[in-house]
Structure 1
Amino acid sequence: MAEKEERKVVDEKRFAIFSKETIRLIADSVGITEITDQAATLLGEDASYRLREATQNSSQYMKHAKRKKLMTDDFNKALRKSDVQPVYGHRPVDQEQVWTYQHTKDGQIVFLDEDDINLVDIALDDNIPCNPGAVSIKAHWLAVEGSSKSQTSQGLASGKPIEKKLSAEMQTYFDRITNSILGKDEELMKLAFTDLRTNAQIIPLLPYFVSFISNGVKTVSHDLKQLTKLLHTLRALLNNTSLYLEPQPYLNLLVQSLMYCLLEPLTASIDLKNDHWVLRDYAARLLAQILFSWSTPINHLMYNTVKTLKEVLYDNNKPLCSHYGAVIGIMMLDQKHIQEILIPHLPVYMPHLNSIIDDTSRANAVTKSDAHKVYGAVLYCVEYLLKSQIKEFEDEISREKENSAIATASDSEVNKSEQKVKSQTLPNPFGTSVAKFYSEMYDYFDPEAAKTGEELLDEFMEQVRVQEEIRKAQLEREKLEKIRIARDKQEQEERNKMLREKEERRRQERRRAELERELILKRKEEEERLRMLKIQEEQRLKILKEQEEKRLRTMKEQEEKKLRTLKEQEEKKLRIMKEQEEQRLKMMREQEEQRLKMMKEHEEQKLRGKI
């Protein structure tokens, strides 16, 4: 108990707390004389908490400024952040100035030791005081396509309500559309999405819908259904060709909303029943649609988004759901980003991912499931990249074949044109024999040839026969090639089947091994639990035995003490009786002696009288 009380005292002294006396002193200084102890205690606790909060916020400004000394400006910035009026008169002219404080003689009041200032000297001085206001930069939007976006942009950037007032009809339309989207009526929701996708009169409501999406994503992060509805709303706005999203706040806020759904560990992902992976896939598709449609070298939208995805993917401290969103987001962009970001990072990232997958502990079950999701996304990216490269290779081969076919066709057209020119002067050979045709042709081409017509005819027929054999051999080769391809395909299918069966057996063996490991772990846990129960039971019996022995020893000691006390009382009583008896005997002896003495004196007197 003493240790607990001491620990409690130490914990209470860890933070500075205003005492009741301090609160009463402050109340007296403002004219409040009657304040109860309970109210003073509550006010002291609340003031202490507010002071600690302001100090912690001011320390954040100090750390961001790379300083180890807390300044009054840091504290005033923290107060402004909490909508509290800053403290004036405590800003030193010299930043290295050290404040000194003193106590009053009459009471425990601490005040700042300051020098007296002569206002007359200051008033008559020629020095002009500097402007104490802080330096700031104010930006505004230029007119885009003849319309100023200053109010809309400022309202969206600051997160405050837009000052531009809508008409009653527009406000009613906006309220009904948002209520239909977030409501439970599916038909009304579909009608709202259709209207947002096709209505060209909602241009004045664009900043309102953008603000509705950007604020709603963070507000309903615990509800996947509502998040999906907000993403459907964003998609409907993107598909509306009448809307112009080029002004910077619109695209930035929409991309930030999608990046929040894609990369952040949503509150809804805590529950394993919620399938937040589908939401991340949907957000990645919408993000790719925005980037491909609205990204330009001026707004750097693609560069900033890819940079954020790369930072999240390369940070192993981020949760696996964020890594999954980064991988899917990179895959939805194009294969160039997969080659530049994902592929170089695989030698570093895959060992980290495999270490999580290989961990079969029960506490790692949820993380392992997330790791499998990320593994599947990376595999899908690599497959997509390979298919794209194979398709490019096939397209290149087909283009080469087309070019060669065009070249061959052009050569054949040249030959045909030459034959056409020659056929204008030649007789028609159809309906005549080969010998007659050849003999007629012989006069036109080579009248002085050494070979006879029969030899040329035999040579021609030999060439026809050779071409026929070549054609038959080619058909035979094509047939054999088809048979070989079919056999290879069948062998490949059988090999794939065997691999699948082997993989299935391996998976079953792995599953069986995991089950055996789980059974062994459960058995070990059960044995450990029984051992601990046995040890606890032995300790409990030992403690009971010690308590019983202690109780018996205490009873024995009490009995002995009681007997000793009774013995001492008896001895004391006997001693007192003995002393009383001795006193009584002594008194009797004294009385006897006195009586004998008196009798003796009486006898002597009697004898003297006789004489």
Structure 2
Amino acid sequence: MAKLLSIVVTLLQSIAETCGIPNPKEDYSNALAHDVDYRLQEIIQEAVKFMRHSKRTRLTVDDINAALRVRNVEPLYGFTSGDPLRFKKTTANMSDIYYVGDDEVDFDTILNKPLPKVPLDVTFTAHWLAIEGVQPAIPQNPTPADAKSELLSKRLKATANATGNDQVDVKPLVKHVLSKELQLYYERITEAVVSEEERLRYQAYESLRSDPGLHQLLPYFVQFIVEKVKQNMRNLVVCESMLCMIQALLSSPHLFVDPYLNQLMPAIISCMVGKRICENPKDDHWSIRDFAARLMALVCQRYGKTYHTMQPRITKTLLHAFLDVKKPMTTHYGAIVGMTQLGREVIRTVILPNTKTYADNILREPLETPNTIKHLEASKCRDALADALLKLIKEDRQAQADEAEQSMEDVDDVDDETKAVVMEKIGDIVGQELLAKCTQKSALTPILEAQV
């Protein structure tokens, strides 16, 4: 250690003399030498760590440079060379100093060398892989003929495999490989969400909602949801589990769900307007349809600004299901609650103008029939229409911030003339149900002013 300090002191004195500081004081040199010695030991210790982590027993220049980078120091130490270093000896201030000599270069040899090739300019190009799911016909993308031939080869292999040829090698659909941990996680989650134990299902939903690092599994979860909904349209428990699973994926801050909305939305709408999503018509499938409607409205609210055509297309689909007389009333109920969740403008422009016609032509006969199932379905549709109009009334009153804020109980009661107008606007079937829930005249302004 003392020898190293003396060498450092000698070097510092030599550097000071070259900088124009003759005969620097020994105390200053010793203090500076101790600091330099500490810094050198620190750099060497860091370099040894890099050497050990690299599974080597010989310290290299790269280790020293890595240690300097860790200390936010520009790596200026040394250079790498495959040739052995040849040190030369010189004497300064009665001390021996060893240095690496510079090679002599012949200028004629350098000048006579041919010039190197001019490097190519750096350029960047961009192209669309797909536009709304369709690959554009550009040179960077495979041609339709190549895609067709690839699809044909896959079908031939699948057919040969189905006939019992064990020698056929079927390529996987996905090119990236999942780790064993992710595969095990996927199996455990998919088993838990369809389990009969409520505790396991909630733990699976919470894991999907909060765990990071699941982006590689997202397409597999989406495919699992779509297949389960298709195969279990009459299994109420499975449909509810899939909706909860979609809600958990949408709630996760670590997942980018946008590319998979076109696959998830049909599954949600199927659970909402499906003809039968349970084996027994007396089961409480109405709450599942309400849950699907809220989930659909959440997707429209969150991603509606990014995908402008999504909500209008969903509204058009639900309107067709609502006005189709051949559809069952379970489908009508899902369409009504779905459009109700989309907001007051949809209620005002879509539901309200069609309420009277729908009630008179479709609901009147089932409400008067002794069949309990049909009567129940018609009652649910009637209540859903009344709740939609009631929601329109409440949201309109909340939107009128400039008027006097008063509750619905602080206004005048509905008179006979107002009741007659309400009956004329929306019919007696839904009108009676609405007037039973809203008994204030001023609250019925959206209904009274509607252009039906």
1:396 and 2:402 matched: yes
Cα distance in 2 for residues equivalent to 1:213 and 1:231? 9
Cα deviation code 1:269-299 (max 9, x no counterpart): x413311101000000110111111124646
Cα distance in 2 for residues equivalent to 1:161 and 1:229? 28
- 1:358–1:267: structure 2 CA closer, same or farther, 3 Å change rule? closer
1:190 and 2:202 matched: yes
Higher helix share: 1
- 1:302–1:162: structure 2 CA closer, same or farther, 3 Å change rule? farther
How far did 1:187 drift?
2.4
After superposition, residues 361-372 of structure 1 pair within 5 angstroms as 362=370, 364-372=371-379
Q: Residue in 2 aligned with 1:381?
A: 388
Amino acid at match of 1:226: V
After superposition, residues 158-169 of structure 1 pair within 5 angstroms as 162-164=173-175, 165-169=177-181
After superposition, residues 16-165 of structure 1 pair within 5 angstroms as 139-140=134-135, 162-164=173-175, 165=177
Identity of aligned residues (%): 29
How far did 1:390 drift?
2.3
1:271 and 2:280 matched: yes
Q: Residue in 1 aligned with 2:226?
A: 214
**1:262/1:283 contact within 8 Å kept:** yes
How far did 1:358 drift?
4.3
Q: Residue in 2 aligned with 1:240?
A: 252
Q: Residue in 1 aligned with 2:365?
A: 356
Instruction: State the SS of the aligned residue for 1:204.
Output: coil
How far did 1:391 drift?
2.5
- 1:317–1:254: structure 2 CA closer, same or farther, 3 Å change rule? same
How far did 1:489 drift?
9.4
Q: Pick the structure with greater CA Rg.
A: 1
1:304 and 2:316 matched: no
How far did 1:171 drift?
0.9
1:258 and 2:253 matched: no
Instruction: State the SS of the aligned residue for 1:257.
Output: helix
**1:353/1:375 contact within 8 Å kept:** no
Q: Residue in 2 aligned with 1:408?
A: none
- 1:222–1:358: structure 2 CA closer, same or farther, 3 Å change rule? closer
- 1:170–1:276: structure 2 CA closer, same or farther, 3 Å change rule? same
Matched residue count: 252
How far did 1:194 drift?
0.8
Cα distance in 2 for residues equivalent to 1:260 and 1:234? 13
Cα distance in 2 for residues equivalent to 1:228 and 1:162? 29
How far did 1:356 drift?
2.2
Cα distance in 1 for residues equivalent to 2:179 and 2:252? 22
Q: Residue in 2 aligned with 1:346?
A: 355
Q: Residue in 2 aligned with 1:177?
A: 189
* Aligned with residue 283 of structure 1, among 280, 287, 292: 292
How far did 1:214 drift?
0.9
How far did 1:140 drift?
3.7
- 1:141–1:375: structure 2 CA closer, same or farther, 3 Å change rule? farther
- 1:141–1:203: structure 2 CA closer, same or farther, 3 Å change rule? farther
Task: Please list every run of 5 or more consecutive structure 1 residues that lacks an aligned counterpart in the other structure.
Answer: 1-137, 143-154, 400-484, 493-505, 507-611
- 1:265–1:141: structure 2 CA closer, same or farther, 3 Å change rule? farther
- 1:310–1:489: structure 2 CA closer, same or farther, 3 Å change rule? closer
Normalised to the residue count of structure 2, the TM-score between the two structures is 0.51
Cα distance in 1 for residues equivalent to 2:172 and 2:321? 32
How far did 1:347 drift?
3.0
- 1:141–1:298: structure 2 CA closer, same or farther, 3 Å change rule? farther
Cα deviation code 1:80-105 (max 9, x no counterpart): xxxxxxxxxxxxxxxxxxxxxxxxxx
Amino acid at match of 1:353: I
Cα distance in 2 for residues equivalent to 1:227 and 1:209? 15
Instruction: State the SS of the aligned residue for 2:217.
Output: helix
1:317 and 2:317 matched: no
After superposition, residues 529-544 of structure 1 pair within 5 angstroms as none
Instruction: State the SS of the aligned residue for 2:275.
Output: coil
Cα deviation code 1:303-356 (max 9, x no counterpart): 211110111111111100001000100111110001111011123212023422
Cα deviation code 1:57-114 (max 9, x no counterpart): xxxxxxxxxxxxxxxxxxxxxxxxxxxxxxxxxxxxxxxxxxxxxxxxxxxxxxxxxx
- 1:195–1:308: structure 2 CA closer, same or farther, 3 Å change rule? same
Amino acid at match of 1:139: V
Cα distance in 1 for residues equivalent to 2:221 and 2:249? 9
**1:356/1:367 contact within 8 Å kept:** no
Amino acid at match of 2:242: L
- 1:304–1:352: structure 2 CA closer, same or farther, 3 Å change rule? same
Cα distance in 1 for residues equivalent to 2:219 and 2:136? 14
- 1:141–1:321: structure 2 CA closer, same or farther, 3 Å change rule? farther
Cα distance in 2 for residues equivalent to 1:358 and 1:381? 19
Normalised to the residue count of structure 1, the TM-score between the two structures is 0.38
Amino acid at match of 1:206: L
- 1:161–1:238: structure 2 CA closer, same or farther, 3 Å change rule? farther
Instruction: Work out which structure has the larger RCO, using CA pairs closer than 8 Å and 6 or more positions apart in sequence.
Output: 2
Cα distance in 1 for residues equivalent to 2:288 and 2:325? 22
Amino acid at match of 1:359: E
Amino acid at match of 2:356: P
Cα distance in 2 for residues equivalent to 1:271 and 1:181? 22
**2:277/2:285 contact within 8 Å kept:** no
Amino acid at match of 1:187: R
- 1:489–1:375: structure 2 CA closer, same or farther, 3 Å change rule? closer
1:229 and 2:229 matched: no
How far did 1:141 drift?
9.0
Instruction: State the SS of the aligned residue for 1:203.
Output: coil
Backbone CA RMSD of aligned residues = 3.4
Amino acid at match of 1:381: A
Cα deviation code 1:224-245 (max 9, x no counterpart): 1121111111110010011112
Cα distance in 2 for residues equivalent to 1:378 and 1:183? 36
Cα distance in 1 for residues equivalent to 2:380 and 2:412? 32
Amino acid at match of 1:255: M
Cα distance in 2 for residues equivalent to 1:300 and 1:214? 22
